[in-house]
Structure 1
């Protein structure tokens, strides 16, 4: 009985590790080039939040290393997002529905990527205008925060 219990505990811990690990998503180093990262490797953090117009790094993209209160060219046009920020202080990103960090928000943890926001179904959950709306094509600003 002890062996079964130990095996069940080990399998549960392994499953939780897999389910909570950051998404490994090899991204292109520069527009128009192939990704130089093996599919099983996780790219090293570079301190940027990346956003693309279309799912799976398609179309034009924007990137930021700090907070931005007005996404301008990317505002309400993003279907793929990736937090490749540095771990530690200000590692998570709050994505806001409106400009100037207004409206409802949702959080993207350090190292996480959602390559297809439309298919994922993520919705704004923080209090404010836009709460409950899908995040796909509806982000207006972001802040780097210590934790969400």
Structure 2
């Protein structure tokens, strides 16, 4: 169902006229009590690259970052104590195929939260694979993306892949080539019509409530939030190309 915030539209109108978007800093994750007898968050790196994981000792404390080498697991309880891992960082320009409690899904680039007590295996990195990825929910410290879909080519309706993803996306990542500047246009209507937003290569919008159809002045959807509004997509060499 389409949901539009008129208040956000009017507040952001000046920014939209210049084609700019902005993002809100995610809220701070809360630390969970992790002790023997309580399941603590764990993450295992099954890729061939060094990753990083982080946690907090308290709600108000700073993030503690740990290196996560290929084949290494962090978190859980041992004779030396307990460690509750909260987030894992996926390298820029990559998405990760992961297993969360045995269920496979995709994580976008950047720091990704997983539910308290989850056992996460980072199985594979897909870097600059020429696809645009979308998630049905926002990604922040309270939400973890949900179902996802991806497209390697121009798509006219976002309606025949992964069931029907048209007007459902709340987070999106351009996993295209930086070398060839593979930007992607996200359109308000099917068939690459209406106003559009443009996401550059190796970039992610984790909360599309704060991104807008900032190109195509005078067309349907111009200045609207793109959250739950993307109906088609097309690869372009530079933003501004309809």
Query: TM-score under structure 2 normalisation?
Result: 0.45
**Number of the residue aligned with 2:221:** 130
The structure with the greater share of residues assigned to strand is 2
Deviation at 1:36, TM superposition (A): 5.2
**CA distance 1:144–1:51, change in 2 (3 Å):** same
Q: Secondary structure at the match of 1:28?
A: strand
Higher relative contact order (CA 8 A, sep 6+): 1
**CA distance 1:79–1:47, change in 2 (3 Å):** same
Q: Which has the larger displacement, 50-59 or 128-137?
A: 50-59
**Number of the residue aligned with 1:81:** 172
Q: Which runs of 5+ in 2 are unaligned?
A: 1-90, 99-103, 106-119
**Number of the residue aligned with 1:24:** 92
**Does 2:174 align with 1:91?**
no
Q: Deviations over 1:15-36 (max 9, x none)?
A: xxxxxxxx93864315346445
Whether contact under 8 Å (1:88, 1:146) holds in the other structure is no
Q: Which runs of 5+ in 1 are unaligned?
A: 1-22
**Number of the residue aligned with 2:233:** 142
Whether contact under 8 Å (2:93, 2:128) holds in the other structure is no
- Higher Cα Rg, which structure: 2
Aligned length: 120
Q: Deviations over 1:56-89 (max 9, x none)?
A: 2522211000100011111111001000012344
Distance 2:94 2:180 in 1: 24
**Does 2:156 align with 1:65?**
no
Q: Secondary structure at the match of 1:29?
A: strand
